[in-house]
Amino acid sequence: MVTLKYKDESDRAYGLGGMAVCMFMLDMEQYIDDISLDSKPDEGLRLTVDFFHSPNQQLSAKSVWKDNLNRFQLTTGLLVSNVLSRALVRHNEDVSRDLGELLISKLTEEGTSACALEKDEIRDLYYKTFSFFHGVFSDYRVASMLNDFVNTLREERILDRERIFNSFRALMSR
């Protein structure tokens, strides 16, 4: 049975590292607060308070929808990056068709409720995101940075923003 659950601590470290890479690649790194290997399952990547702003009540429905769409696109990137980091960098293998379908299924639930997107729109966004991040995690330089990051995270257990920035500084110039 295919699952998104982490197999072990190393798997979690690669997943969290992949999510950090995603934040850098989407120019959202300023919202990273820290990464902790010992946190609760959904709290490994902690974001700053600024990330969780409340939408302005005076914004138009279209503006609110665009904000929701942007957040859904980030969610898609984080999920895809987590899985690709674990598969491509840690295991040196591609994501199985079954796992891809599981990702699409999970994203369909979220995209439908958050943005009222149709299944084909969600699928298109998934494939676009998957293709982009597949290229990112296939790059040996990214894999090298990620391997170093995982080793440091496993050793120190928690890394603050400065340590994360130092680990992935080269991504900021891409």
Q: For the chain, which ranges sit under pLDDT 70? A: 54-57, 173-174
The confidence score (pLDDT) of residue 82 equals: 98
Is residue 32 within a helix (H) or strand (E), and if so which, with residue range?
strand 32-36
In this predicted structure, what is the pLDDT of residue 65? 86
Confidence at residue 60, expressed as pLDDT on a 0 to 100 scale? 83
**For 24-59, how does the pLDDT look when each residue is reduced to its tens digit (9 = 90+)?**
999 999 999 999 999 998 899 999 988 877 666 677
CB atoms within 10 A of CB 30: 12
Residue 174 has a pLDDT of 59
* pLDDT attached to residue 167: 94
Amino acid 54: pLDDT: 64
| Rg of the chain taking only CA atoms, in angstroms | 16
Q: What is the pLDDT of residue 2?
A: 83
With b meaning 16 or more CB within 10 Å and e meaning fewer, what string describes 86-122? bbbbbeeeebeeebbebbbeebbebbeeebebeeeeb
C-alpha to C-alpha distances, 76 to 18, 64, 126, 154, nearest whole angstrom: 12, 18, 7, 25
**What's the pLDDT score for residue 151?**
97
